[in-house]
Structure 1
């Protein structure tokens, strides 16, 4: 009988914040770190974790302001991608993780790549799913956000308030998906409930602004790819309007041996393409970082 991996739901106090994470798999197996996107949390990996955890130690944290982690007021905590990378770094140290492969998606890409820059040798592999590191990947969707980067006025900030509404949250899950019946509505109900918490909109506006600090780091991210050549699989959605396919192919300039799969789906590919992505990732991980066999 095939055993079903047990997922544990835990928190670690880091600098006074309770940081929630999901963990599953053998403690002595190679580690796969799952870094979520906006506006979700480790919830986006709830179905993938059991697929990987039979052979790998899987860790999926929620950043502050997301999921089940603390969400302090934006006036008392400076939300930003470097802060998130530092918190994940501390979490990994607390959990005794010295080396890890990373699944990076959306916001998870700059968090993961900033983490990699701190100690590149720790990164044993990359799984990239609609996570940008090239300016070609910032297309029309980003124009109002870029305007905010250039002028962080109240007017430009307020112009982004629509990005945290239910219509846009639902859009992120359903746009570009051929069979929407495969997408659980629990996704946008769950995410929107957390976005609608008092003060959370300001947290997200601060992060939209801070995302602009990632772009000047793109050359450093690319140098990490080029110089350290971590084994890489790119699983990208061709119908994603937020991180379009234009952002996938430039990776091959710096990671020419990367395995690339373009899927016919939208932003959150795991929701309707897990049956395709799961075997691809297991095959990739087995070939590269090696599984602990039962």
Structure 2
């Protein structure tokens, strides 16, 4: 039977949040939080492969995908504000407890959700979603740290380049052994949305806010130690944004963390969807017995 994926929009605090949803609403919930410059579109293949057992929900963060993108003059784009919207979204659609899949920007949003209410999170799947400084690859991150310290147009230039069509394509294809597995729809879709009027201002504001996520890492790591939340780290070993040391580091605070380094890049689902799905179904089947 073909899985039906619904595409919905809900009002959260006066802002429209778009989301993809599939599965029985009474089943254990799995919430998928995307990275930048992506959206819930990155989960288009994964959602149907989990929905036979789980209630799968993937929202677009504010400023991304088809969710609202208020201008920076009217909305303060911080990672706390993005978390507020996701928290309000989950409350609005009635998801009290859930497992999280976090990737890239989805990680600092997910960690904030967990710090606000640890009982809400039943398990975590981190796919190149960082919680340790070891995960940062300096060659990619230095321009962002420089910009956060001095938000000039000169310092913004390399960040704008990272969001060019070629820069986004690199994020999808770099480190992928067989790039023919990665659909051009990915980087074309993301580039189209990031090229909307006002979108670059949103992205630059969030770049400037990224150090707040690093400052939160000690609390996140204490959350891991205190709760021993079940965690699966499934990582593209060739990612030159968040390197594999970021995956290995989870075991420092979660000795039972399951860490798998696959031969892929930053957006691992594009080339290793069957492998990631198998690992997730096995892990969730033990962490969230249906």
Moved over 6 A (4+): none
Partner of 2:183: 184
Where do residues 28-39 of structure 1 align in structure 2 (5 Å cutoff)?
Answer: 28-39=26-37
Where do residues 159-238 of structure 1 align in structure 2 (5 Å cutoff)?
Answer: 159-238=158-237
Partner of 2:77: 79
Cα 1:57/1:71, change in 2 over 3 Å: same
Q: What per-residue deviation string (whole Å, max 9, x for no partner) do you get for residues 74-120 of structure 1?
A: 11111121111111111111111111000000000000000111100
Larger CA deviation: 100-109 vs 144-153:
144-153
2:212 aligned counterpart, secondary structure: coil
| Kept after mapping to 1: 8 A contact 2:12/2:92 | no
Q: What per-residue deviation string (whole Å, max 9, x for no partner) do you get for residues 227-283 of structure 1?
A: 011111110111000111121111100111011110001110000101111111011
The number of equivalent residue pairs is 289
Please state how far the C-alpha of 1:139 moved relative to its aligned partner: 2.3
Please state how far the C-alpha of 1:72 moved relative to its aligned partner: 1.2
Give, in whole Å, the separation in 1 of the partners of 2:146 and 2:137.
13
Please state how far the C-alpha of 1:156 moved relative to its aligned partner: 1.7
* Structure 1: unaligned runs, 5 residues or longer: none
1:19 aligned counterpart, secondary structure: strand
Larger CA deviation: 256-265 vs 146-155:
146-155
1:123 maps onto 2:121 in alignment: yes
TM-score by length of 1: 0.96
* Structure 2: unaligned runs, 5 residues or longer: none
Partner of 1:263: 262
1:214 aligned counterpart, secondary structure: helix
> What's the C-alpha RMSD, in Å, of the aligned pairs?
0.9
Partner of 1:96: 94
Give, in whole Å, the separation in 2 of the partners of 1:159 and 1:42.
26
Please state how far the C-alpha of 1:153 moved relative to its aligned partner: 2.9
TM-score by length of 2: 0.98
Give, in whole Å, the separation in 2 of the partners of 1:129 and 1:17.
28
Give, in whole Å, the separation in 2 of the partners of 1:169 and 1:157.
16
